[in-house]
A and B are shown apart, each in its own frame.
Chain A
Amino acid sequence: MGITFRKETFRDDFTFRNSPEHIRRFPFPFHEDSYMYAVNIEPHVVGPKGSVLENLIDVDEHYVAEMQDRALVLAEDPLRCQSLPHMTLAGWDLLELLMEQQALGYPEHFTLTRDGDRWRWINRPLGIDDTFTFGDTSTLPYGPMEYITRQSQGDFCILDQRDGNLWMDAGMVTTQADWSLDFDIGMNFFEWHAPVPLAHEKGIFIRALKFLTNIQQGKPARRLNWTMTINPRLDTSPENYHKWGPDRTTVTPENVGDKVHLRVELQSFWRLPRSNGIVFPIRCYLIKMDELVTQPKWARRLHRVIRDLPEELATYKGLTRYRPTLVEWLLKLDDGSPTSPGFGPDSVF
């Protein structure tokens, strides 16, 4: 049985919702009652059935709506998708990876057929059936990276590896937590992470770079990151700050449950075979507080995490203005009882 894709919006009337099954599979990012940075990287291997890790590239009920939202963002601002001239080969690598993984995980929705370099790609949810020559950009309606990332959930950064560093030289970025590809394009790993507080002092980026430059083909890795977003808005970019920034002043005790969303990024890292680059998919999952607190363990734990979050992190994540309102709302759902270890809800699948 295939996925039932929701008709919903991530702007204007904000009709985005998670079904009960999708609430339970939400990648809750806190394994204990507090949070601090760590190099929390692990092998990106297939996880339990019914979780977001069931397939290494996850497709869910929001797929069609997210792709429609991406098309709207790109129509307004084409610079959300950029690829420096030397990154075309890496774009083909990414096209192969995403077609293979989506066809493997969801054969009822996607089919890839190859005859040498003649490839046929069928994407049923989006009504696409294209035949093209792998490696020949003139046979696709867009460059290879843009073509496939208009059909894949999550943002994608393609990093060139040279001189012992990684360089942000291509990407499709429309569902970002307040950073800009147009600003970061061409930067190296330390340059684009410069604004992150506390982590530099802990030497985290030096260790992380060493790890990432040694990622091997066939051995992808992953980590979770998180922030919060007011209203289920995928595009919280600096370019559109004037649209979403003021949302943060609208949180009241009455609307916390509907307006405040936990935003989790499942970040994975893959070595690309032809270009020797790294692709860094950043897959965004949103869940509103009303949905999250249907799992009592998550409600208790989130209360403790947000209450005790160091001030620098709260500022960096943009929570300062509504944190007291949120903590007060969550407090009512925290009876002080202990929470079980691990990420999952108490009602595990």
Chain B
Amino acid sequence: MSTGTTKLDVVVSDVVPVNDLVTRFHFRRRDRELLPTFSGGAHVVVEMRDGERTRLNPYSLMGSPLDTREYTISVRRDDVGRGGSLFMHRSVKPGLEMVISYPVNLFSLDLRARKHLMLAGGIGITPFMAQTSQLAGSGGNFELHYTSRTASLGTYADLLQQRYDRRVRLYHDDLDERIELDRLLSSQPLGTHLYVCGPAGMINWVRDRAAALGWPAETVHFEHFAAPQPGAPFDVTLAVTGKTIRVGSQQSLLEAIEAAGVDPPYLCRGGVCGQCETNVVSHDGKFIHNDHWLSEEDHRSACKIMPCVSRFEGKSLVLER
């Protein structure tokens, strides 16, 4: 119907360094009204105007859904990424006017659950900050297991323990602490739903073990926004609009299509929601698929690509855009 979601004009109301890697950003509406209510697990897409370049990155809302005076996100600095997180860390200061999207939830709580079992890895803690606030406010039953590399990189671990005490269990890689996953998954009451957010390896591990231990697929929920990866530049022909574009090494294919004045629909910009799915007309080369949306068969048959996160290497690529 139209590209993305309704936009919100906000101002950065606070910037708080949390630890060596993570900084928290607070947004309020410029018109001083309340922000839209949201549900735990929702994200917003933040528009970053960096000189000539515009990046649009999704971040989970981590504040309480019960308090909509401000939205908060936490951004982990990625020194080898495409520069979105570096821009946030270096250039975004209190008072800066920015544009963010309305909240979208692709990682919603299943409110039928008798118990919510949450597994977080690293910065994957952020959606659980909002979900635990939501559940705690309504007497919900949850248990959170949170792994981080070290105690000092366990973002918000202190706060969570302070809020929820024994409902939170921490694990630190440098101390060789690991979630005893099989035991954990085998000892849950009937009606438990499992949620996992963290690095791809962790998500795959948890999903595989849950499936092996007989958890129904509809009780296992996961969210992994793939950040668009940098790569070699490549050329693309857009068959519908008749344009030929170059995708820069630090640019995503979706960003390059948008920069050419073509507006495909999008929501998550992380290979999850399926909105920007694009048909391949012809190609000579190989695809680098990074999405979680297309099936393996789609990937093998090379008939579709998710331009928000995936790239191409080769001689020629023609897309139906």
Q: Which residues of A contact B (CB under 8 A)?
A: 43, 85-87, 89, 96, 135, 160-163, 211, 214, 216-219, 221, 273-276
Contact = CB atoms under 8 A, between A and B. Distances in A.
A163 B102 CA distance: 22
B65 interface: yes
B37 A86 contact: no
Given A217-B36, A274-B39, A276-B39, A86 B102 contact: no
A19 B218 CA distance: 51
A264 to B, nearest CB: 23
B5 A217 contact: yes
Given A214-B275, A217-B5, A276-B42, 16 more contacts: A43-B2, A86-B110, A89-B111, A160-B112, A161-B108, A216-B267, A217-B36, A217-B103, A218-B5, A219-B1, A219-B5, A274-B38, A274-B39, A274-B65, A276-B39, A276-B109
Nearest to B111: A86
Given A86-B111, A160-B111, A162-B110, A216 B36 contact: no
Contact of B39 (A219, A221, A275): A275
Interface string B79-118: 0000000000000000000000011110011111000000
A276 B37 contact: no
Contact of B105 (A89, A163, A276): A276
B27 to A, nearest CB: 16
Contacts of B42: 276
B153 interface: no
B102 A217 contact: yes
A211 B2 CA distance: 12
A218 B111 contact: no
The residue in A87, A96, A216, A219 that gathers the most chain B C-beta atoms within 10 A of its C-beta is: A216
B138 interface: yes
Contacts of B218: 162-163
Contacts of B275: 214
B108 A219 contact: no
Contacts of B6: 216-219
A134 B108 CA distance: 22
B273 interface: yes
Interface of B: 1-2, 5-6, 36-39, 41-42, 65, 102-105, 108-112, 134, 138, 218, 267, 273, 275
Main secondary structure of the interface of B (DSSP, over half): loop
Nearest to B65: A274
What 6 pairs between A and B have smallest CB-CB spacing? A273-B37, A86-B111, A276-B108, A218-B6, A276-B39, A86-B112
Contacts of A96: 37
Nearest to A87: B111
23 contacts: A43-B2, A87-B111, A89-B111, A162-B108, A162-B110, A214-B275, A216-B6, A216-B267, A217-B5, A217-B104, A218-B6, A218-B36, A219-B1, A219-B2, A219-B6, A273-B36, A274-B37, A274-B65, A274-B134, A275-B111, A276-B39, A276-B105, A276-B109
Nearest to B37: A273
Contacts of A135: 138
A13 B36 CA distance: 46
Contacts of B2: 43, 219
A173 to B, nearest CB: 21
A108 B194 CA distance: 48
B256 to A, nearest CB: 24
Contact of A89 (B102, B104, B138): B138
A199 to B, nearest CB: 20
A38 to B, nearest CB: 15
A211 B1 CA distance: 9
B22 to A, nearest CB: 26
Contacts of B109: 276
Contacts of B37: 96, 273-274
A257 B222 CA distance: 58
A189 to B, nearest CB: 15
A161 B267 CA distance: 17
A36 to B, nearest CB: 22
A276 B37 CA distance: 10
A273 B112 CA distance: 17
Nearest to B216: A163
B298 to A, nearest CB: 16
B25 to A, nearest CB: 21
A96 B134 CA distance: 18
A274 B138 CA distance: 12
B273 A214 contact: yes
